[in-house]
Amino acid sequence: MYINILHIKENSDISNLEEDIYVIKSIPELYYWKDDNFKLLGFNKEKNDNENKYELPPPIDNNLYFGELFICKIDDNNNFVDTNIEEFQAFYNKQFGGFYDIEFSSNEEEDELSEHTSDNDFINDDTLSEYSINSDISLDFDNDTDISDVSIDITSDEEEDNNNELDNNILNTDDDDDEEEKEKSN
């Protein structure tokens, strides 16, 4: 005799599975949600990186489980009965007190997030730092270079504009001085 149960893979993917009842009975029970007649089954053998990533409903939502897991349902006479993802999702939502789509694997959820979100959504040009590094920096190091001899000029855009103005004024003043000296020498 075959019944429908849920198969939870290590990567948290969940799917319907039709399995022989004798096979199901041979899998150890890990937890029983008595009020809702759902059982968690699995061998829970820890091996190299085989932690099951599925977030199970309370009160076992903080427990670690390993390997493949199975969810089955029993009737009031303790007999296994068919279950499906929709029925388990209703129970799951009730346990968590809200809506959560259990058919999403963590990979699908990440894909959906990355599909609708980009780094640009989080960058606001108005909040970027007012400081910029002078792009004309070149550093030549040899074995004799002492790190204390290296300096990097970091100025704000406003300071840079003021410095450029000041440089222009100094250059103009130097040019004026050169012209005055030329006139004096003539």
pLDDT in tens, 80-106: 999 999 999 999 999 988 755 555 545
- Cβ count near 139 (within 10 Å): 7
Tens of pLDDT, residue by residue over 16-71, are 999 999 999 999 999 999 999 999 999 999 988 899 999 999 999 999 999 999 99
Lookup: tokens for 36 = 């809702």
Closest by alpha carbon to 56, among 43, 78, 41, 34?
Answer: 41
Number of H helices, E strands in the chain: 5, 8
pTM here?
Answer: 0.54
